[in-house]
């Protein structure tokens, strides 16, 4: 890959920069324990994948409401009743979902050469909590709340082209989810790097399966910065 042709790196956030599997499990395990529900991590995450996709389909709703709906559907599937406070365990936990160990330093290295942009299925206020953990002054942040849709819809990518003033040939999209990110990126002509992070759900990570071939695969952001000689 000719990294010299790119001026901007666009990033998915949760799953790529942020270890959302750990964050989600840290939020949901205590909830299940309080309701005497015993189930494994893999089952919790598979329920999350299925119900998040359902909640994000149809008419747009803020991600806080999506997470509340996911929690309600998990409770229904596992046969327990939520209190009003229980509905908020996921949205209230987003600001504590941890960055991957290599994320912050790799972003600092990448920022020496490129403009860094977030394309995330999130609300602005929830991402503001995460940005404090990342500590990077992103050149643009494009959220689902701003565009009124969720990836794999094309809204984030169209907004990037409009706001960044750069053609898609100069933008490299960096993401973990094949389903949410690489499919729409390649449909629109963006080059993409698959950050194939280790996952409790081998093959897909925390997303639905998808058939797509990214331009480059790396195991983490550090490896990408190394390849770029930064």
Query: ∠113-6-124 over CA atoms, to 5°?
Result: 75
**Helices 41-56 and 63-77, axial angle in degrees (round to 10):** 130
Q: Which domain holds residue 151?
A: 3-19+99-227
2, 12, 19, 125: which is the annotated catalytic residue? 12
Counted domains in the chain: 2
**What is the CB neighbour count within 10 angstroms for residue 123?**
21
CA distance 134 to 165: 25
Digit-coded pLDDT (tens) for 136-163: 999 999 999 999 999 999 999 999 999 9
Tell whether 107 and 189 lie within a shared domain. yes
pLDDT at 209: 87
Question: Does residue 102 have an active-site annotation?
Answer: no
Do 107 and 208 share a domain, yes or no? Answer: yes
Q: What is the pTM of this model?
A: 0.95
Dist CA 54 CA 56 (whole Å): 5
Structure-token pair, residue 228: 């770029």
In the listed set 80, 95, 110, which residue is the last one of a domain according to the structure?
95
CATH code, 70: 1.10.150.750
Q: Are residues 105 and 166 in the same domain?
A: yes
Q: What ranges make up the beta strands (E) of the chain?
A: 8-11, 115-120, 140-143, 171-175, 191-195, 216-218
> Do 25 and 70 lie in a common domain?
yes
Q: Tell which of 40, 61, 95 closes a domain.
A: 95
Kindly state whether residues 61 and 14 are assigned to the same domain.
no
CA-based angle 127:131:137, to the nearest 5?
Answer: 125
How do residues 91-132 score in pLDDT, each as one tens digit?
999 999 999 999 999 999 999 999 999 999 999 999 999 999
Tell me the pLDDT of the chain averaged across its residues.
96
- Give CA–CA dist 98/89, Å, rounded: 16
Q: What is the pLDDT at residue 202?
A: 79
- Residue 36, both tokens: 């005497």
Encoded tokens for 145: 């709340």
Instruction: Please state whether 79 falls in left (phi above 0), alpha (psi between -120 and 50) or beta.
Output: left
Q: Answer for the pair 217, 210: CB distance below 8 angstroms, yes or no.
A: no
d(CA 106, CA 17): 10
121 in the same domain as 202: yes
The answer to whether residues 40 and 54 belong to one domain is: yes
> Which tens digit of pLDDT belongs to each residue from 56-66?
998 999 999 99
């Amino acid at each position: 890959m000719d990294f010299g042709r790119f001026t901007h790196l666009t990033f998915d956030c949760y799953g790529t920069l942020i270890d959302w599997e750990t964050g989600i499990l840290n939020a949901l395990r205590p909830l299940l324990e309080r309701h005497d529900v015993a189930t494994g991590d893999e089952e919790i995450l598979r329920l999350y994948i299925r119900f998040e996709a359902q909640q994000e389909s149809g008419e747009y709703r803020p991600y806080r409401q999506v997470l509340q709906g996911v929690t309600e559907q998990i409770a229904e599937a596992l046969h327990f009743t939520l209190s009003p406070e229980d509905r908020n365990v996921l949205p209230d936990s987003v600001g504590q979902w941890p960055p991957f160990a290599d994320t912050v330093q790799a972003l600092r290295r990448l920022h020496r050469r490129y403009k860094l942009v977030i394309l995330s299925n999130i609300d602005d206020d929830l991402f503001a909590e995460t940005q404090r953990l990342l500590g990077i002054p992103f050149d643009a942040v494009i959220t689902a709340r701003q565009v009124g849709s969720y990836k794999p819809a094309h809204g984030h990518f169209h907004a990037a082209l409009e706001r960044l003033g750069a053609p898609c040939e100069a933008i490299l999209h960096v993401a973990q989810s094949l389903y949410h990110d690489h499919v729409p990126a390649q449909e629109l002509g963006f080059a993409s790097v698959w950050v194939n992070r280790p996952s409790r759900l081998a093959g897909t990570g925390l997303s639905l399966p998808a058939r797509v071939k990214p331009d480059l695969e790396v195991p983490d952001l550090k490896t990408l910065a190394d390849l770029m000689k930064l």
